[in-house]
Amino acid sequence: MSKRINIPRDQLENLVSKLWLEPEIAEFYNCSIGYIKKIHPGVLKMGRPVKIPKEEFVRQVRVMASYGSTEEDMKDSMEVSMTLFNKWKKLPDFMHALKKGRAIFRRSIRQGQLKSALSGNAATLIWLAKQYLGQTDSGLVVADDTGKTTEIDAERILRTCGSE
């Protein structure tokens, strides 16, 4: 008779979500795969394990994300299905590369906007003021020497200036 091993279901599901292979899980708990399937049916998935992306794909996804490519463009470039691409996004290295590339892309957009605004583009200046300084179309936000902010109604200012 084989010994009973207490395997917490949530811990087992965590290992499966990290894409551990069945033999690794069985070795971790020092029991057979059949025993795990018997005490927690449905946790270990049937079928082939997930294909791990090549190192060049991880580098490629970072570069493509840094240029603003969509996930659709990336998976087409790597010639994989969207299902497989979504599975790869669960892998820490792949997801880190994707997030890093997107961060680089966002930073380059911000730098371009700031450069455009500082060269005199009024629309960009207005947009940046709304995003980063809390200004709105309904009025201006003015800070005094103490840092206290007050919203000034632009229409009231125009009426006052127009009546003089």
Same domain, 60 and 25: no
What local confidence, expressed as pLDDT, does residue 142 receive?
61
pTM value is 0.54
Same domain, 159 and 132: yes
The residue with greater pLDDT, 92 or 50, is: 92
Same domain, 74 and 39: no
Q: Supply the range of the domain harboring residue 26.
A: 1-48
Same domain, 25 and 79: no
Domain final position from 118, 134, 150: 118
Angle between helices 92-118 and 122-133 (to 10 degrees): 130
- The confidence band for 1, taking pLDDT boundaries of 50, 70 and 90, is very low
- % of residues, the chain, pLDDT over 70: 69
Same domain, 100 and 142: no
Same domain, 2 and 41: yes
Place of tokens 């957009």: 109
* Number of structural domains the chain divides into: 3
